[in-house]
Structure 1
Amino acid sequence: MAGGPARRRGQALLGAGLAALLCVLHAQAACRDAAVTQELLKEGFHRDLLVKVELGVVGEDAGGCTVAARTHLPPGIYVDPYELASLQQHNLTKAVLIPDVIDVEAPEYLATDLLVLLYMEPDPRCSRCFRAALPVHGRYHRPAEDSQEASVVLKSPEVLVCCCDNRLSTECWKPAEVEAPCSGRNAGPCQWYSITHRPAYEESILQVPVGLRHHSSLVCVVTLLTTVLCSSLILAAVCKYGHFSPVTCSE
């Protein structure tokens, strides 16, 4: 009889442990990571950055939420703000650049990092999928010693969700500091949340064509000769077809 209470206490502790384990497993299932795919389309200096996100189980209730990808662009790649403004005017894409003033002519070694918040659109082929594309451009690099390409590494983006118009539970998400509106309908501040995700690839690599350093002398000579030749042809055309007297041209 003495072992009865101890046995019951053991069974109660075992039941409580199993219940806690089930709760943890249920929470892990509800907070399943999102899947992120990032691709660089086209070739050369002018590319398209395509980002795809598939939310976890919690994404089934995210109908009223805004999904965005926050990515850091290294100095070797940039977004043209004038091109972006034109695309946004035609509702082809939506993004926020930080900083919003970008020197598009600066080479890679004089440029700085760029933060992009890219708003994503629902994918009609998948209820929990979102996608967005953004044109990006490679910057000119210093001439290399023995390689005709420079590698620009683009890290996987951070997935953000904002549910200003939705009472969706945010227990699975971490608050993120983002000073950007949740959507075009809401211009006021809104709380963004960061979602843990498992990228298909940890990083994407952009190969940018570069010149070879031992070609510098040849390039300078050819450039100088071309400049002199073109200047001579322009001067000859001005003297032949311009409204100048022969005395002026001979001087």
Structure 2
Amino acid sequence: MYAILFSLLVCLSTCHCLNEKDEETEDHCVLLTQVLDNSAVSMEIRKTGFHRELETTVELSMDVPSGVRVLLVHRWPRNVFVDPFQLASLSEHSNWQILLDSAIDLEEPAHKTSGFVTYVYPAPDAPTTPRLFKVTVPFHGRYHEPSFVGETFTSVEIIPPELLLRTEKCSQPSSSESHAVVDAPCTPDNSSTCQWVKLQHQQEHSPVVFQLPVGDGSLVMPVCAGSLLVTVICCVALSKYMWKHRII
């Protein structure tokens, strides 16, 4: 009799603990969706020329509780690249870390490469503003094929990043009409994949647009002909000088 009562008490206690754990998990999952709602992501390009910086600012709708991770997924066009060695040096002294989805060839021209993805893991901009995140990522323009229609510049568009959130206490978030669950690397070490929550239809923001110079294709033949002519003239002049002064 006592054994039966003891087993019943253990069972009720276990069920109560599981219910509390499920409720806590559900509360944290709901919290993620509440933080995402009305959060804002903005971008600004700094510097000019082929070497620029993309400053991304994230302002969440409420303070981020302890344990909540923020992830920015940037989808870059093929017109630009980031330098992995430069990023590794910067991340050691910055409040963010970054992961690349593929190897980056620093020398390839734009028409021979493709776009890439970066995963940026930021920390709050300051302890006093836990809902504000700022990340400045340096990037560089690639060289383009010369234009044969008289264009001297080409436009490059960089779209806003996706904002993702997760917490260890919400291990299995559920999708809804307003929020989606996506897989992404848990940490910059890329050792495992976790489920992150993002807005199903994030607020539309216009991409930032800037221009890069391109060569004039109509000048290819004149430049080649001029280079060949100068080379021939220099060879003839050098040959005459060597013949005159008996230089062998």
Q: After TM superposition, is the score higher than 0.5? A: yes
**How many angstroms apart in 1 are the aligned matches of 2:96 and 2:233?**
45
Counterpart position of 1:23: none
Counterpart position of 1:98: 101
* Residue number among 143, 150, 156 corresponding to 2:154 in the alignment: 150
Counterpart position of 1:108: 110
Cα distance change of structure 1 residues 230 and 181 upon mapping to structure 2, 3 Å threshold: farther
Counterpart position of 1:136: 139
The answer to whether 1:175 aligns with 2:181 is yes
Look up the SS of the partner of 2:197 in the other structure.
strand
The answer to whether 1:46 aligns with 2:48 is no
Look up the SS of the partner of 1:191 in the other structure.
strand
Q: Does the CA-based 8 Å contact 2:166-2:196 persist in structure 1?
A: yes
What displacement does 1:98 show? 1.1
* Structure 2 counterparts to residues 201-212 of structure 1, below 5 A: 201-212=205-216
State the one-letter code of the partner of 2:134.
Answer: R
Q: Does the CA-based 8 Å contact 2:56-2:135 persist in structure 1?
A: yes
**How many angstroms apart in 2 are the aligned matches of 1:191 and 1:174?**
10
TM-score, scaled relative to structure 1:
0.68
Counterpart position of 2:88: 85
Q: Provide, for residues 49-104 of structure 1, a one-character-per-residue CA deviation record: whole Å limited to 9, x for no partner.
A: 11111112xx32433222121011111011112222222344464211111x1111
**How many angstroms apart in 2 are the aligned matches of 1:96 and 1:188?**
13
Counterpart position of 1:35: 40
Q: Does the CA-based 8 Å contact 2:183-2:194 persist in structure 1?
A: no
**How many angstroms apart in 1 are the aligned matches of 2:87 and 2:226?**
36
Look up the SS of the partner of 2:218 in the other structure.
helix
**How many angstroms apart in 2 are the aligned matches of 1:75 and 1:154?**
10
**How many angstroms apart in 1 are the aligned matches of 2:87 and 2:207?**
24
What displacement does 1:188 show? 5.0
TM-score, scaled relative to structure 2:
0.69
**How many angstroms apart in 1 are the aligned matches of 2:232 and 2:71?**
52
Counterpart position of 1:215: 219
**How many angstroms apart in 1 are the aligned matches of 2:105 and 2:230?**
28
Cα distance change of structure 1 residues 227 and 161 upon mapping to structure 2, 3 Å threshold: farther
**How many angstroms apart in 1 are the aligned matches of 2:69 and 2:136?**
16
Cα distance change of structure 1 residues 227 and 122 upon mapping to structure 2, 3 Å threshold: farther
In structure 2, the gaps of 5 or more residues are 1-30
Look up the SS of the partner of 1:96 in the other structure.
strand
Cα distance change of structure 1 residues 44 and 230 upon mapping to structure 2, 3 Å threshold: farther
**How many angstroms apart in 2 are the aligned matches of 1:173 and 1:62?**
19
Look up the SS of the partner of 1:83 in the other structure.
helix
Cα distance change of structure 1 residues 229 and 36 upon mapping to structure 2, 3 Å threshold: farther
Counterpart position of 1:74: 77
Aligned residues: 206
